[in-house]
Structure 1
Amino acid sequence: MSDPGGRGDTFCGINPEALQGTINSLKRDAGRLRGSATGFKTRFDQLGIDTLPLTKLLHVASWADDQLPMLRRRHHLAVLIDKGADPVLHYPNCPDMIMVDDADVSADPPKVSDVPDGSDPKLNADWWGALTPGMRAELTFLYPDRIGALDGLPSTVRDEANRTALSKEKGQLNAKLNKLRKDLAATKAIPPSNVDDVGGAIGGDPAYELQNKIDAVQSKLSGIAAVEQGLAKGDHGGFPHAYLLGFDTHKLGHAIVSFGDPDTADDTVTYVPGLGSKLAGAEGDISRASALWQSSNQQAPNKHVASIYWLGYDAPQLAANSHGADVASESDANAGAPLLRRFTQGLTAARAVSSPVHTVVLGHSYGSLVTGRAAVHGKGKLADDLIFVGSPGVGVDRASDLHVDPSHVWAGANSHDPVPDLPGPDPFEDLGGNASSFGTNPASTAFGGHVFQADQDPSNSFSSVDLDAHSSYWDSHSESLDNLAKITVGDYGDVTEAPQIPSDVPTSPTLVGPGVL
């Protein structure tokens, strides 16, 4: 449609409803024209009559067919822009006409190779900012998984893309599950030689292999359901919108969920979970992020807070017959550290307001090692404040080694939590009471940061050593959660400091077992 404001023949916008009518009419009329011209041509040939005019009519029908892809793309772009996150521009004299850049519909459709590799959040942000609204909408529609994974893009864009990717993945997995179940039902009965002592199929049998595939698909679907349940808290019960900033089902799955928009927040806190974390258990960890948002909002109701759950790395898992040795390694933390730093850089690159933001990264359990490694990975500070709870060590021996002022390093350890006192690799260092599995205990005097009160409410006391204490830091109305919120919103003076751990006394008896990191 030409500009109603007087720009003549310049293409400038689309009325989606009217264009859809044109597409339907052109397709219908081209078909009728082709059918009639073909019929008459056959009869004219039989009668020896010149068919050149009919051939020209067939060319007209072919021309109409050739226009349909371009028209459909223009219509598609207009609909995407109308439904997208970017503001939609309408002409004052034609409110039903959506502005579409002619360059969008004149160019070839974008290819997946047009999307950056994602390694540089600032470059991602600049690339996205240079695109027209139509190109953004089409890229998000065509490649939601790639767009949703780009650190540095606006939260609204990543949320839309990742929700689309989640829905698409869910549909594909359900279709795959249905097919596998049909294949299993069609499989012949398991021969007696392939049945174990309790009647189950053993390796090598087709039914056994199919059941393993079914279990793997069901695990991924359980992870998707966990994310959906976590997201459902957003926009209800006083909570802000929950943004899905990352999602995939690769390996054990990954998800990033933010309560509140980090692009405009006054304070952002990124929570990094630890051992055993995976997509299928995301709901509980997402609840921790929502609990911290709620407590922070109560602490500073006039501030906008974004509380983020970040499972953007492959957390170590503990096998049922393991005694902890398989996770006494820094390899997963070393792999996850650059991903965490890139994510925090992306939050900076995506800022939509000029006002300063206060940033916090909170590492729990093995996630504190990931946070510590990220803090020393690359240049500059990872965040304004670093918090470690239930930490087996953060990979360094002093708060001053974390590229941030030690006055902005915080640690909390429930006295019944065994993880901060897990033995380190050097038994002679352990004798001093300061060593943890991965360096000096950050909740000890020797580390040099702040130690805040993180014990549970006495009315819900633990035994001397209780693994439940390792998950108590987000308990409702606990002093630990209150202190986490106070640090998040920068109310440092209200943080309750804990008595410093003497250099020769461990915080609790040591214990190594499933689920403690």
Structure 2
Amino acid sequence: MMGLSWSDVKDWKSSYLESQAERLRAERAKWLQGASDAEVAMSKVASSGAGVEAAKASLRKKIEQVDVCVNKLSELMMATSQACDGVWSVQTRILECKQYAEMHELRIRSDGGVESQPGKDASGDDEKKLAGKVSEVLTYAGAVDQRYKMRMWAVATGMYASPETHKSASPGLYNFPQAEWSATEVAVWWKALSAAEKQDLIAHHPEMIGNLNGVDMASRDQANRILLPQKISQAEAKVQALRATFKMNPSEYYRHDRVPKSKVAVNSELEWEEKRLADLKAIRSTLEENDKLRESKPHTPKRGLVYMDDSKKDDRVKVAISTGDVDHAKHVSTILPGMNNVPSEDIGDHVKNAERVRQHSIRNAKISSEQVATIAWMYDTPQGGQVVSSKYATKASHEIGSALEGMHASRHTNGIERAHTSLLGHSYGSTTAGKVAKMIRKGVLDDLVMYGSPGAGARDTREYNLDHGRPYVSGIKSDDAVKGKGTLNSKFGNNPMFMPGVKHLANNSERDRSFFIPWKMFDRHSEYLEEGTSSLEDISRVVTKVPVKGER
């Protein structure tokens, strides 16, 4: 069997498969309704007799045939959504090949061969590396194509079969999300469920829905709000039990030199549980503050708990709190903080910073408030000396990027206009944001804003997968010594202040001093989103696509 060629895949589009998945979903819903209507009609037949019984038997037979059809439509719908997601990944990989070619003075021929651009003499090593990337794209595309063919073949030949009926929970579909599903598959599955089926999952299995990429953010908020008090109660009980086991005064908890070796493990677990409890309570307070305000001022935008991870894989709870309607807003911006941020101490201020950006964005664009939503995302930020490592940025970039892809998939599947999407990062958070922009799939992210940045998370702006926008930077000239510091470690990327293609935003030059004071070298590092600063105004303009004023 001949493999796919570059000319076969370079123009692949997921739009056709998206429309087919939606047609299959609508057809499935129609057949399900038909089966339900037939059941109702049959239940209303009051007469009896041989003729009536024969008619009922015939109707039951037709309903069984409808069940088979629903199961096949369900499988085709999910197979198509899987293929659609695969094509999306192929599109992104092709884009990255083109980016690499442009950066290294190469070009890709229509047959997939690689050569230097006319008049250029590219490196042989770069040529080999790009050829390898092209080969990987073709191999991956072939796997996507073959997998889709096999699933369709199974339905067409009768090899696929499901025992489910229209009376089953989520007929023809899995009752629960599958671990291997992509955000696109989740979005299609979630839309195909009835409102009652969705609410049942949220009420009885909120842990499955709260962080599930591809589910709308309103449903995620609902699930996480169910989980939050449960987690707080569990943490309180755990802390109480560990303290009883430990049997020491609170002042002794963290003094490992005073703890018998047999109790060091208990002490470590107690530390983690106390941090977890403090983080969860701070999240609750941040939400309750908004809920209380909305009681007296109903038009206050709602905060949503759209992500919450308190697993032990990280030192602190990770959380994302939205303001506004992320599922429908025309402009959505996610804001990332820098080092030494933890929910117990900082989530309230971080949310307020994001809300300040939102308010200024609305004001600068002169648009209605429902058109803008923000997400204050607190990832596992490095603490103290951990900041010299880029691993926290790399890890968070995958979590945040996947969530933004899920938001995109959910909106697209539900026929909601694509949001203008921006990502804002301060300090270490700017490196994290840069890494998100580098790995995120095509068509999701528009604008990247870095401020007080130690490193851009990339070596070249052409590595960023930005759709309709560009990268921006704001860097205060005096008393912000963090700028560019991470570039001593190549994994932080280059200094965005000097990267070609990065647009410079206002940087509060009116506050600059003409002389250096060593003990004040970090004093202004955190002023970028302060009220009254030109940096806040320009950063906010990016969020709503208002022309920026730029550096002075």
| Coarse TM-score class (shorter-chain normalised) | 0.5 to 0.7
The answer to whether 1:439 aligns with 2:493 is yes
| 2:360 equivalent to 1:295 | yes
Cα deviation 1:27-76 (Å, max 9, x = unaligned): xxxxxxxxxxxxxxxxxxxxxxxxxxxxxxxxxxxxxxxxxxxxxxxxxx
Amino acid at match of 1:451: H
- Give the residue type in structure 2 aligned to 1:219: K
- 1:336 equivalent in alignment to 2:396: yes
Residue by residue over 1:291-339, the C-alpha shift from the partner in whole angstroms, topping out at 9 and shown as x without a partner, is 212222322342510111123x433322xxx4xxx43333233323232
The corresponding residue for 2:455 is: 393
Report 1:405-484 matches (<5 A).
408-415=470-477, 416-422=479-485, 424-425=487-488, 438-444=492-498, 446-455=499-508, 458=511, 465-484=520-539
Consecutive unaligned residues of structure 1, counting only runs of 5 or more, are: 11-101, 190-194, 427-435, 500-517
Q: Which amino acid aligns with 1:297?
A: I
In the alignment, structure 1 residue 255 sits paired with structure 2 residue 319: yes
Q: Distance between the aligned counterparts of 1:254 and 1:216, measured in 2? A: 14
* Correspondent of 2:303 among 237, 242, 246: 242
Answer yes or no: is the 8 Å Cα contact 1:400–1:406 preserved in 2: no
Tell me by how many angstroms 1:347 deviates. 1.3
Q: Shift of residue 105 of structure 1?
A: 7.4
| Inter-partner Cα distance in structure 1 for 2:467 and 2:170 | 51
Structure 1 residues 440 and 128, CA gap change in structure 2 (3 angstroms): same
Report sequence identity in percent: 25
TM-score by structure 1 length? 0.64
List per-residue Cα deviations over 1:194-220 (Å, max 9, x = no partner): x99x997324254x6555433322211
User: What CA distance in whole angstroms lies between the structure 2 residues aligned with 1:180 and 1:168?
Assistant: 18
Alignment of 1:168-183 (within 5 A): 168-183=230-245
Shift of 1:137: 1.7
Aligned residue runs from structure 1 range 312-327, under 5 A: 313-318=379-384, 322=385, 326-327=386-387
Partner-residue secondary structure (3-state), 1:169 = helix
| Residues 10-89 of structure 1 aligned to structure 2 (within 5 Å) | none
Task: Choose 462-471 or 409-418, whichever is displaced more.
Answer: 462-471
Number of residues paired by the alignment? 378
1:373-388 matched pairs, under 5 angstroms: 373-377=435-439, 379-388=441-450
SS of the aligned residue for 1:350 comes to helix
Q: 1:307 corresponds to which residue? A: 374
SS in 2 for 1:376: helix
Q: CA deviation at 1:127?
A: 0.9
Structure with greater helix percent: 2
Aligned counterparts of 1:394 and 1:417: Cα–Cα separation in 2: 16
Moved more, 333-342 or 463-472: 463-472
**Larger of the two Rg values belongs to structure:** 1
Give the secondary structure class of the aligned counterpart of 1:484: helix
1:157-196 residue pairs with structure 2 within 5 A? 157-185=219-247
- Provide closer, same or farther for how the CA distance between residues 301 and 115 of structure 1 changes in structure 2, counting only shifts above 3 A: same
The letter for the 2-side match of 1:142 is H
For 1:108 and 1:302, locate their aligned partners in 2 and report how far apart those are by CA, in whole Å: 39
Consecutive unaligned residues in structure 2, runs of 5 or more: 1-35, 45-163
CA RMSD of aligned residues (A): 3.7
Change over 3 Å in CA distance of 1:106–1:409 after alignment to 2: closer
Identify the residue that residue 348 of structure 1 maps to in structure 2.
Answer: 408
- Structure 2 partner of 1:201: 258
Q: Who is 2:111 aligned against?
A: none
Q: TM-score, normalised by structure 2?
A: 0.61
Give how far 1:110 is off: 13
